[in-house]
Copies of this chain bind each other. A is one copy, B any other.
Amino acid sequence: MNRFGERFTMTTYGESHGKAIGCVLDGVPAGLEIDEAYIQSELDRRRPGQNEFATARKESDKVEILSGVFEGISTGTPIMMVIYNTDQKSGDYSNIKDIFRPGHADFTYFHKFGLRDYRGGGRSSARETAARVAGGAVAKLMLSKIGITFSSGISAIHGIQGKELDFSYPPKSPIYALDPSVEEAQKEAILAAKNRHDSVGGVATLKISGLPIGLGEGLYYKLDAVLASAMMGINAVKAVEIGDGIHSAEVLASQNNDPITDQGFKTNHSGGILGGMSNGDDLICKVHFKPTPSIFIDQESINTSGENVHVSLKGRHDPCVAIRGSVVVESMAALVIADMTLLNMGRTMEGIKSYYR
C-alpha cells in the first residue's frame, strides 16, 4: 500500500528523520534517456529553505539513482532512487515525543501501529513527497516524448483567488502564483499568518496538455477517479475538483455541457474528462490544501497516556504548505498519466495486431 500505479508504478520508502527516503519505479519502458539534472531540478522546485514563504529547514535533497539505468538509458528494470536525509534535527521533536500534535497523523498512527515514531511525523511527514517528485520527474520525461506536458501553480491563498491564471508565471514567483495581480495580496496573507505563528491554506491548480483521447480505464480506474486519489493522498489535501468542479453542481446542464464541433470542444467545463477518460482537451484539476497544522500557538491535546496537555510546537514549518505542495500535485499527476498511457495500449484488437505484426 506504499505503491502507486498499476503498470508504471512507484513504491516509496523512508521517514522524515530516518537515514533516507526514496522510491523504486517499476514499469518504466526501456530506451528512455534518464536526464538526472532534470530530475534534480524538479526536486529543487519542491526543496525547502529557499525563501521566507517556506520552512527554514535546509535539505539538500540530492537524488542518486542506484539501479535501472545503464549508460544514461533506462533498461526496463526497476529504477531505484535514494535521497539521504541530512538535516535531521530529531531534537526538535523530543518535547512532543509523547504528545499528539493536533491536525497531524500522530494520533492515528499511534493507534493503528501501537507505537510512536515521534521524529517529525516519521513516515507521515510531507518529507516523503520528495520521493514522489523524483518519481514524477521520470514520468514527465517519458510523457514529454509523446507531447504531454504539465504545469501548475497556486490559484488561491487563504481565500484570495486568482482570476486570470497564467501557467507560465509560477516559475517566476516565490509562491508559484498563477495570477500576478493577486500575488502580493497572497504573499501578505502568508506572512501575516506566519507573524502570528499561524499558517494558511491554499489551492493549487494543475493543467495537463497534449493528452490523447481515451486515457482512463474501466469503471474503477477512471482517469478522474485515479487523479482524485492521487491528489487527496497528498499531505494536507482536503478537496479535489475536476474542471469546473463544485461550480458544475450549481449550474444547469445547458450551461455545463461542452458543445462539440469539428474544431474541438467549444468550452472546457468538464476539465478535459468525459466518462472517466481524457477527451483531448486540457485537463484541469484544483487541489485544496489545509493550513500546515504545525503552528506555534498553544493548542489543546492529549498525550499517549490519554491525559489532557497543552502543546506549543517549535521547529521550522511551512506557513503555507500548498506552495511546495503544488509541485507534488504535478508529480503525482505525471505518475497517473504515465500509468494510464501504458494501460491504454492493448485496448483494441487493431492496436494489438499492429504491435505484434
A49 contacts across to B, CB distance below 8 A: none
A82, B66: Cβ atoms under 8 Å? yes
Q: How far is the CA of A36 from the CA of B239 in the complex (A)?
A: 36
A136 CB → nearest B CB, Å: 13
B107, A274: Cβ atoms under 8 Å? yes
How big is the A interface, by class?
Answer: 35 or more
Chain A contact residues: helix, strand, loop or mixed: mixed
B3, A277: Cβ atoms under 8 Å? no
B256, A290: Cβ atoms under 8 Å? yes
Tallying the copies of this chain within the complex gives 4
- Contact flags (1/0) for A128-163 with B, using CB distance below 8 Å? 100000000000001001100000000010110000
Is A68 on the interface with B (CB-CB < 8 A)? yes
One of A21-29, A38-46, A53-61, A171-179 contacting the partner: A21-29
Is A343 on the interface with B (CB-CB < 8 A)? yes
- Contact flags (1/0) for A209-229 with B, using CB distance below 8 Å? 000111011111110111111
A224 contacts across to B, CB distance below 8 A: 232-233, 237
A288, B245: Cβ atoms under 8 Å? yes
Is A349 on the interface with B (CB-CB < 8 A)? yes
Is A261 on the interface with B (CB-CB < 8 A)? yes
A221 CB → nearest B CB, Å: 4
Nearest CB in chain B to that of A20: its residue: B66
A2 contacts across to B, CB distance below 8 A: 24, 26, 77-78, 218-220
A227-250, CB < 8 A from B: 227-233, 237-246, 248-250
Is A345 on the interface with B (CB-CB < 8 A)? yes
A30, B213: Cβ atoms under 8 Å? no
A67, B15: Cβ atoms under 8 Å? yes
B356, A212: Cβ atoms under 8 Å? yes
Q: How far is the CA of A162 from the CA of B241 in the complex (A)?
A: 21
Q: How far is the CA of A342 from the CA of B203 in the complex (A)?
A: 34
A1, B343: Cβ atoms under 8 Å? yes
Is A341 on the interface with B (CB-CB < 8 A)? yes
A112, B291: Cβ atoms under 8 Å? no
A66, B201: Cβ atoms under 8 Å? no
Given A114-B31, A351-B29, A108 and B278 touching (CB < 8 A)? Answer: yes
A285 CB → nearest B CB, Å: 10
A9 contacts across to B, CB distance below 8 A: 3
- Contact flags (1/0) for A314-357 with B, using CB distance below 8 Å? 00000000100000000000000000011111111111110110
A249, B203: Cβ atoms under 8 Å? yes
Nearest CB in chain B to that of A189: its residue: B252
A158 contacts across to B, CB distance below 8 A: 250-252
Pick the residue among B70, B145, B202 that contacts A249 (CB under 8 A).
B202
Is A207 on the interface with B (CB-CB < 8 A)? no
Given A103-B274, A228-B229, A238-B246, A257 and B352 touching (CB < 8 A)? Answer: no
